[in-house]
Structure 1
Amino acid sequence: MIQKTKDKIEAFIFDMDGVIIDSEEIWKRAEKEVFSSIGVKLSEELCSVTQSMTTTEVTNFWYSKYPWKHKTLDEVENGVVERVAHFIKNEGQAISGIEKFIKVLNSRGYKIGLATNSPSVLIPVVLEKLALTEYFDATSSAEHELEGKPHPFVYLTTAEKLNVKPENCVAIEDSFSGLLAAKKAGMKTIAIFDSPNSKVENKIADYYISCYNQFDFSKLNLEE
């Protein structure tokens, strides 16, 4: 439970993939399509390692394992991002309950931000696909930071854009690296996990939900 303190919560900052849009399989398909075409042998074990990386880090990772020729790293990375954007536009699905939840936050006067490891070009694609653009006061991508999550930079940047102190922000994440980034930034954290095992493995969040319909403002002690 997030305990009430003298610091009033003023903003909610969302991760994007797995928190706003159900995109895990989309990323897997895009990466398999692009990397396999240049001779990379993807495995479930190694794909799990890259899951929380930025696209640049993922591309560098696979190049170190299976160096390819005839295409630059940028060309390969851009190929993956283009395929992800294509799949999102045509097949993207919102995480259940996110639209209603964001509208409730908006109606209560909270500022709303987005902090993602994904490339910035995908942010408007996702928000437009889900018809959520108008609700976000600030968005940030880790591609413009020195390092992505689990480093806190993208969260600190988003808080600055919102003109809210980090301690007055709640971050919503679905991964350990994301939760760690928000914690390092000094924010309260909510983990959204659909698996009980995930809660056990990721104990650092202040509060846990398996879906947005479970969100209870009174339990979070966010009311004055």
Structure 2
Amino acid sequence: MNDIRAIIFDMDGVLADSEPLHFEAEKAILQQHGIEAPWHEWHKFTGLTDEKIFRYVVDNYTDGQYTPEALIKAKYDIFLHILEEKVQPIPGVMEFLEWAKPRYEKLAVTTSSLRQIQETVFRALKLTPYFDIVVTGDCIQHSKPHPEPYLKTLEALGLKADECLVVEDSLNGIKSAKGAGCKVAGITTSFSKAQLLECGADMTFDHYAELIC
């Protein structure tokens, strides 16, 4: 990675082991509202914004008595509490950040989560000192898999796409990063190596220790 000047991380499933916590909150809210959701296909929502997830649920699994906005607010009330109590870093990520910080010009985060969620995770895991740029879901108009989130991050970094390595766990995130022209390392916290590579990841890894060289 000698030509890489910056590393851009997704947050959920890449820095924070928060994907199961999202699912816990989403499941609780839908059950509270009596909504039968397609749990067997929930994995396809990984990397999408809450607006897209709950819009899909409202359009396909309700009679219109709920709005995505109402369900999102209900989820956040639960999710913020769950995050503060339960969120943990992805194994090896803190050691990798300590290793990477002095070796790369900049480190950044590009997440579909809203700023309030990102700040809660950063506070709980003490991540703030490591990152120069943070782009959240409320900073963009078109969420992943659209390339806008990573294009916005590249603009903020002042770097070219081929100078940045993106670390992603989701297929939607990989599509977004590749659409912006970035190299992508896929971590196998949410999908298999085969799925990540098929989606366009340039490399995959199971543990951050594999990236330290």
- TM surpasses 0.5: yes
**For the Cα contact (< 8 Å) 1:159–1:166, is it kept in 2?**
yes
- Equivalent residue for 1:154, pick from 149, 158, 173: 149
Alignment partners' CA distance in 2, 1:145 and 1:161: 13
In structure 2, stretches of 5+ residues that fail to align are none
Q: Distance in 2 between matches of 1:42 and 1:72?
A: 15
Shift of 1:201: 1.7
Task: For residues 156-210 of structure 1, give each alpha carbon's deviation from its aligned partner in whole angstroms, at most 9, with x where no partner exists.
Answer: 1112112222221110001121111111111111111158x71112212112110
Provide, for residues 5-58 of structure 1, a one-character-per-residue CA deviation record: whole Å limited to 9, x for no partner: xxx321100001100011122111100111221221123224233333210011
Structure 1 window deviating more from structure 2 (84-93 vs 200-209): it is 200-209
| Amino acid across the alignment from 1:106 | K
Within 5 Å, which residues of 2 pair with 1:199-214?
Answer: 199-203=193-197, 204-214=200-210
Match of 1:143 among 138, 143, 148: 138
How many residue pairs get aligned? The number is 210
2:83 maps to 1:67: no
Structure possessing the higher radius of gyration over alpha carbons: 1
Q: What is the identity, as a one-letter code, of the residue corresponding to 2:193?
A: K
Q: 1:150 to 1:137 in 2, by over 3 A?
A: same
Q: Percent identity?
A: 29
Matched, 1:103 2:74: no
Is the CA contact (8 Å cut-off) linking 1:38 and 1:68 kept in structure 2?
A: no
Structure 2 counterpart SS, 1:121? helix
Q: Displacement, 1:125?
A: 0.8
RMSD: 1.9
The amino acid of 1:213's aligned partner reads A
CA distance in structure 2 between the partners assigned to 1:67 and 1:156 by the alignment: 37
**1:70-219 superposed matches below 5 A:** 72-194=67-189, 198-203=192-197, 204-217=200-213
Residues 104, 41 of structure 1: alpha-carbon distance in 2 compared, 3 angstrom cutoff? same
Deviations, residues 97-148 of structure 1 (Å, cap 9, x unaligned): 1111111111214301000111221111111111111111011123332221
Paired with 1:194 and 1:109, the residues of 2 have a C-alpha distance of 24
TM-score, normalising length: structure 1: 0.86
Deviation at 1:68, TM superposition (A): 4.9
Counterpart amino acid of residue 86 in structure 2:
E
Q: 1:222: which partner in 2?
A: none
In structure 2, the residue matched to 1:53 is: 48
